[in-house]
Amino acid sequence: MSQIAQGPNVLIVNAESPYKTLADLLKAAKDIPQKLTFGSYGNGSSPHLAAALLSQRTGAVFTHIPYKGAAPAMNDLLGGQTSFMFDSLITSIQQLKAGKIRALAVTSAKRNPLIPGVPTFAEAGVQDFTMLAWYGIHAPGKTPADVIGKISREIAAFCSHPATMKQFADQGLDLVSSTPAEYARLVEAEDKKWGAIIKQANITVD
């Protein structure tokens, strides 16, 4: 029905990691394929797909360690059991502020104001690599068109309210409303993009 918000992911390493830049990490991965490990929330999760895309864009080969959720994946990154991981900015920002992890690159097309010193992937040397975590609101398929229209207008008003925008921005998210048609096109485009990446990487959920 409508998109409501979007925000970037970040590629993060432990604060004590020897990899200071994305180039450092990719060089190590190419020097010894599969040496570097990355944690994710599980097979087929967003962090897993992000690492698969990075591998496809750069030729670097990593070893995937799936976890049952974000917390155990982050715990092992903090403990040095894994080399890196992708995480949403909204869930990693407190660890970044505390200096426990280091962000090497952000997946948005532009730098994020919460972490202005962190380069985009393009700035860090990897082209054609953008990824946004997005959130939307859906309605049952038989919902009347006039009801859909009314809800869409309410969502647009919500997303344009300055105080609400600031509250979301403080968490690393941008409010983005859309018409039902625009949202349908977004879902279709995302399905096509990530479906191809999943197929190429031979990713399964088991």
Sketch the domain layout of the chain as residue ranges. 2-133+186-201
Cα–Cα distance for residue pair 89/130, rounded to 1 Å: 14
The DSSP element (H or E) to which 85 belongs, if any, is: strand 84-88
> Per residue in 96-144, pLDDT tens?
999 999 999 999 999 999 999 999 999 999 999 999 989 999 989 889 9
To 5 degrees, how large is the angle CA 101–CA 190–CA 89?
20
Residues of the chain scoring pLDDT < 50: none
Cα–Cα distance for residue pair 166/164, rounded to 1 Å: 5
pLDDT score of 196: 92
Cα–Cα distance for residue pair 45/183, rounded to 1 Å: 21
The CATH H-level (homologous superfamily) assignment of domain 2-133+186-201 is Periplasmic binding protein-like II (3.40.190.10)
Q: Which residue in 71, 173, 200 sits closest to 112, CA to CA?
A: 173
Q: Where are the alpha helices (DSSP H) in the chain?
A: 22-31, 46-58, 70-78, 89-97, 145-159, 162-169, 180-201
